[in-house]
Amino acid sequence: MIAAVNHPERVSSLVLACTVARLELWRRELFESWIGTVEDRGMRAYVTQNLTWLIGPKSWRRLWPLANVIGPIAVRAPARGLVGQLRGMLAADETLLNRLG
């Protein structure tokens, strides 16, 4: 979204999924707690703590067979990647929201 707003001539189209343009206080607190979990206890603790929150109960029942594939991938993901993504979202310029239309 930031690239499209700042450089529309370089973007012909976007596919957006799981985006956020405004960080309400609850979301900031959530992201900060995720950073703390990852930095203090690692990716396994983050995945274990948040998997049922990130995947709702109905989806969890349907996706359970994939847990043996997805779980190890998520646990082995570099912590710095997730932390960097979360910090990037926390630092994003929310004034761009006015230009998203």
Q: What gap in Å lies between CA 54 and CA 12, rounded to an integer?
A: 31
Q: What are the phi and psi torsion angles at 20 (to 5°)?
A: -150, 135
> Closest by alpha carbon to 91, among 83, 99, 80?
83
Task: Give this prediction's pTM.
Answer: 0.74
Give the chain's mean pLDDT.
86
| Higher pLDDT pick, 19 / 75 | 75
Q: What gap in Å lies between CA 49 and CA 37, rounded to an integer?
A: 9
Q: What angle, 0 to 180 degrees and rounded to 10, lies between the N-to-C axes of helices 43-54 and 25-41? A: 140
Q: What gap in Å lies between CA 31 and CA 25, rounded to an integer?
A: 10
Q: What gap in Å lies between CA 99 and CA 97, rounded to an integer?
A: 5
> Closest by alpha carbon to 97, among 24, 13, 9, 11?
24
The domains of the chain are located at 2-8+23-99
pLDDT tens-digit series, residues 19-28: 777 889 999 9
